[in-house]
Structure 1
Amino acid sequence: MLKENTNVAVVGRAQTGRRLLLGDVCKFTAMAALLAIFVDAVIGHAMLWGNDPYWTYWITDTLLMATVFGLGTAWVGIGLVRGALITAAHMLLLTTYYWSLSPIGLPSQPVWLDLEHTWVTGLPVHFGVYYLGYVTALWIWRHRAARNVEPEHATARLATGGVALAVAIVVGAGLLQALFLGHFPGITWFVMRIAVASAFTIAWWSVAGRDRNAAVVGGITLGFLLVAYGHFLGPVGLPNSEFRLLTAAPPPAEVHWLSYRQEFLIILPTTILLAVSGYLLAGWSRASSVRWRAASITAVTAPTLALVLLGGGVALYTGPEAKTAFVSAEGSASLGGAPSDGGDMASGSATLRMRVADRNPRGTPLPPHDLVDIDASISALDGTTYTIHATEPMVAEPRGLFSTWYGVGFDVWHHGRSGIGYAGLPSTESNVAVYALGTVREGEQILATGVPIHVMTSSRPGARLELHIGQTQFQVPGIPGGYLRAVWPEYEGGHDQGLSYAQYAWGGGVLGVLLCFAIAAARREQEQNNGDLTE
């Protein structure tokens, strides 16, 4: 047995050097690419940017990453410095691809990324999340060699233990969530998360082992996995309260999504603590012989306390009101027809009162939909007065021509060559932009219902706020030209960007701490493994 363990260690050290066998390159590349895209989803897009790219982004990025990681690993091997260079190469290729060659939303919508999300924040964030995935894969690779992790026999006891542990973690997390948030998440919440946690637990034990260090890393990963599943795929509230046995018609599905504060400041830390504790207890008999030194404990405790303090500050800016915006304008306004008509704008007066909320940042038309409440009045020089009322968000453009952000968008680009809105308008960055369906009246007479209504703010001098009634392909009866546009030189209100800054701070803080932990852990495994120290 001693001879077999020695051979495993020798093979492990050989595999951590510059060159790998072809099979090892494939295994390491698959692990690094999957972990990198997972970190990109949960930290980059969910926690930091707060958006949900179309599914083609995830597939395209994973395949491109597997190609670059695979070629880079075959050429130069694995290691922290080599991995950083490979990650940088992939990041530049991906960024150039989406900036110059392909919209991020195809084939659903031709949505191009703006400068901020592509280059300004895109470069550092994408490098951080991809490199964290790579370093985690590197830690697993070296950990197996350093700890002589050998495959365990697939016994019924081991499989049952993994499922039992997953059940305990999910049930505990669900009960705490119900306690903290004041509502039961639903039976489906438990069923699907038990399935996710069971599969991951057994896979993690087979890949990383069950010692103390593997338990900590695995528990953190499982915590993020469960929260990411809930953020993108698992709304709360299923099944419906109506009981079904032999009823032919299905009941309605009344679901809702958790807020940013609930997901990432309450549920995420709670789930990670439960998962780490459960994994440590399950692997107690396989505790690592390497002791945690005082310096190591301090190195872990200090950043953790810093995150707790940061989370307390972020919580102040992530309440329900952070997703709400009020916009108002009144007095003199310029009135005209469709932007493509090219006609002169006439003078008039108009009033707008608008309250909107961006309640669902995910790539799904499922409710809850965004909140829209628009009241406007436009008085033309000929004495005609039009009143507009809209409370229904435009979840999708009726003909599928462009995205509408499911009704409400904050700090978004549209029009021009963006692929969103009207090409006849210049590219516009709006603090608040809204697409809705409303009713148009002339006096007491209803001219039309279900009319496309568009409101946007801008930074253009003399056109800080615009209201568009109708579309060029949707003529509103009773309005000359079938289209009415009002432009105000100034407006009051808008969306407070405190939420965006808070998300950047929290997502960036978590990413930075985890990346430092991962690099330190990978270097420690390298030292204990006596591997390639030349990088």
Structure 2
Amino acid sequence: MFLLAKDTIKFSILVGLSAIFVDASIAHGLLWENDPYWTYWITKTFLITTVFLFGTAFLGIGIVPGLILTAVHTLILETYYQWLAPVGLPQEPEWLDFNHLWITGVPVHFLAIFGGYLMALWLWRRNHPVLEAERGETWRFVVYGLVTAVIIVAVDGILTQIVLLRDFPGITFFVQHLLITFVFVCVWTAYAGAGPMGWGVGALMLALVWTTYSMYLGARGLPFDQPYYSGYTDLWWLSFPGGFVSALFGWWIGVWLMTKRRMIGVAGIAMLAGLLGVPADPASAQTRGTDGLVATARASGEGLRMTGADPFAMNSTVPMNGTIAIETVEMGNRWSHVENTDDMQVSAEFSAGEAKYTVKIDKPMPRHPLGSYTTWSGAVYEHDMHGNTGIGTGKLPKVRPEIALWGWAEVSRNGEVIARAAPAHIMVLTDGPIQGVMLEIDTEDKGLVAEPDGYINVMWPKVEALQMPEAQDRTRQIIGWVGIAGFVVLFGALAMLDRNNNAARPKT
């Protein structure tokens, strides 16, 4: 049985959601007891929907079409994770072995997806009457969606990735974007129409979907490079406007080609060939991770060093004297050290008693070694911690430092290195119960064996210089508010316009 174009979309989305549920609950939950993580779940949902949307237009719905399309999907899925992408993103990438992919993966994924298809088929038949549709109508619709998607992705590859970002994002990037774009173009066209208003707003929304996917899920560089993620500037100042223009131009071509049906196939092949002809390693590549929020601080002079069994006992101290200079780059907080890891440069020299110490920190600690609390990928600005917050130690009062960082410190005493990667925590505070700059080294485990107390905790009572990225942060906040308000105004106006148009139409 063949469905109308809009019903084909509804059915394919139902299959995608049903199949990914069975895959998550039974295959990965009951059988494998693992979590391939968010990029897998979202991308696979788009893959399932794509295969069944395109295939249903040609084969219709039923047990036999379901078996065929499930087999096609399983082959594509295993091939994708064999050569194009690891699981575990955006947290920790893991390339699956042959056994997981082809020995157990093929039958398990086939049964899980087919089970989801059968559930969707049953639900569909219980809620929709049997209405035969002409296959040609739906066939032309999905071909239009696929060709338009290929054109849009190809234009974006040239305009946004090569011209604006000057970086080839990898084959996997284009496969993911093609899956997203095909489903989006079909769904949007079915509900918003193929007129200028429909595809114009659709181009804007597709660019937003792409940018959101790239921010949270879509790694660049795969499969031949280590996965990396774009930062704020690359995402919102380059990728989003570039994606919008690419989608606008590509969608316009797709709509035009829909009226010239003989040229659809030729145009799609030509654009795909042009995309594949883009050089994979341009001489000037995207600079990764340069658009973070920079903060600096400095302190010098006399201070205190805590001593004794309790690293935070302010009543057990000895004098110290020295300097500390801090520079941090806060790259964002997307909760994955693969997506963003902050940068830091800390140098400190101080003397306490007969000992002279040098501390250098240039390696961030993206996670607490035991996962006890967040470290915000290394650095955070103006956030509550310690006290009763569950972050840090309860032996300090609750504070809100302007700068806080966690990193791995190289420590020297009297010219001799006593630790090359000791856990360190720094706070810069200008207000609250504690003020100054506090430098802690291994205060949790007391693992500095060369030190009598097993740790170092020193504090300068006054911050001499502090520079925060207030203007840059304020600009981002303003842009964010404008974006939210603009979104509401845009679709509010469109909703009112369609309401007026519907009211003006003669009733039949």
Give the TM-score category using the shorter length.
Answer: 0.5 to 0.7
- Mapped contact 2:228–2:338 kept (Cα < 8 A): no
Q: What residue number does 2:147 align with?
A: 164
Q: What residue number does 1:397 align with?
A: 368
Q: For structure 1, list consecutive stretches of 5 or more residues without a partner in the other structure.
A: 1-26, 35-53, 60-107, 109-149, 241-252, 288-318
Q: What residue number does 2:7 align with?
A: none
Give yes or no for the alignment of 1:460 onto 2:444: no
Corresponding letter in the other structure for 1:514:
F
Report the CA distance between 1:507 and its aligned residue.
1.5
- Mapped contact 2:152–2:251 kept (Cα < 8 A): no
- Distance in 2 between residues matched to 1:444 and 1:424, nearest whole Å: 32
Greater CA drift, 328-337 or 399-408: 328-337
- Mapped contact 2:321–2:351 kept (Cα < 8 A): yes
Give yes or no for the alignment of 1:526 onto 2:496: no
Corresponding letter in the other structure for 1:335:
R
Superposed CA deviations along residues 33-68 of structure 1, whole A, max 9, x for unmatched, are: x9xxxxxxxxxxxxxxxxxxx97xx99xxxxxxxxx
Q: What residue number does 1:312 align with?
A: none
Give yes or no for the alignment of 1:438 onto 2:409: yes
Superposed CA deviations along residues 117-137 of structure 1, whole A, max 9, x for unmatched, are: xxxxxxxxxxxxxxxxxxxxx
Give yes or no for the alignment of 1:324 onto 2:302: no
- Mapped contact 1:236–1:255 kept (Cα < 8 A): yes
Report the CA distance between 1:219 and its aligned residue.
1.5
- In structure 2, do the counterparts of structure 1 residues 157 and 490 end up closer, same or farther at CA, with 3 Å as the change threshold? same
Corresponding letter in the other structure for 1:158:
F
SS at match of 1:430: coil
Superposed CA deviations along residues 474-529 of structure 1, whole A, max 9, x for unmatched, are: 33223232222222222213332222111111111122222112111111212222
Greater CA drift, 362-371 or 505-514: 362-371
Q: What residue number does 1:216 align with?
A: 200
Q: What residue number does 1:22 align with?
A: none
Q: What residue number does 1:173 align with?
A: 156
Give yes or no for the alignment of 1:233 onto 2:217: yes
- Mapped contact 1:339–1:425 kept (Cα < 8 A): no
- In structure 2, do the counterparts of structure 1 residues 152 and 457 end up closer, same or farther at CA, with 3 Å as the change threshold? farther
SS at match of 1:171: helix
Report the CA distance between 1:342 and its aligned residue.
5.4
Give yes or no for the alignment of 1:377 onto 2:346: no
> What is the 5 A alignment of 1:88-103?
none
- Mapped contact 1:322–1:498 kept (Cα < 8 A): no
Report the CA distance between 1:426 and its aligned residue.
1.9
Greater CA drift, 423-432 or 337-346: 337-346
- Distance in 2 between residues matched to 1:151 and 1:330, nearest whole Å: 80
Give yes or no for the alignment of 1:480 onto 2:447: no
- In structure 2, do the counterparts of structure 1 residues 261 and 396 end up closer, same or farther at CA, with 3 Å as the change threshold? same
- In structure 2, do the counterparts of structure 1 residues 458 and 517 end up closer, same or farther at CA, with 3 Å as the change threshold? same
Q: TM-score, normalised by structure 2?
A: 0.62
Corresponding letter in the other structure for 2:200:
V
Aligned residues: 347
Correspondence for 1:207 among 191, 198, 204? 191
SS at match of 1:387: strand
SS at match of 2:372: coil
- Distance in 2 between residues matched to 1:154 and 1:328, nearest whole Å: 69
Correspondence for 2:241 among 252, 256, 269? 269
- Distance in 1 between residues matched to 2:176 and 2:495, nearest whole Å: 32
Report the CA distance between 1:386 and its aligned residue.
2.1
SS at match of 1:460: coil
- Mapped contact 1:390–1:438 kept (Cα < 8 A): yes
Superposed CA deviations along residues 56-108 of structure 1, whole A, max 9, x for unmatched, are: xx99xxxxxxxxxxxxxxxxxxxxxxxxxxxxxxxxxxxxxxxxxxxxxxxx9
Give yes or no for the alignment of 1:448 onto 2:431: no
RMSD: 3.2
- Distance in 2 between residues matched to 1:187 and 1:374, nearest whole Å: 38
Q: TM-score, normalised by structure 1?
A: 0.59
Correspondence for 2:172 among 188, 191, 204? 188
- Distance in 2 between residues matched to 1:158 and 1:400, nearest whole Å: 50
Corresponding letter in the other structure for 1:227:
T
- Distance in 2 between residues matched to 1:518 and 1:394, nearest whole Å: 43
Corresponding letter in the other structure for 2:150:
V
Correspondence for 1:418 among 374, 389, 393? 389
- Distance in 1 between residues matched to 2:338 and 2:452, nearest whole Å: 36
Corresponding letter in the other structure for 2:154:
V
Report the CA distance between 1:346 and its aligned residue.
3.1
Report the CA distance between 1:331 and its aligned residue.
0.7
- In structure 2, do the counterparts of structure 1 residues 154 and 453 end up closer, same or farther at CA, with 3 Å as the change threshold? farther
> Structure with the greater relative contact order (CA < 8 A, sep ≥ 6): 1 or 2?
1
Report the CA distance between 1:403 and its aligned residue.
0.6
Corresponding letter in the other structure for 1:260:
Y
- In structure 2, do the counterparts of structure 1 residues 513 and 360 end up closer, same or farther at CA, with 3 Å as the change threshold? closer
Greater CA drift, 179-188 or 448-457: 179-188
SS at match of 2:383: strand
Give yes or no for the alignment of 1:198 onto 2:198: no
Q: What residue number does 1:365 align with?
A: 337
SS at match of 2:201: helix
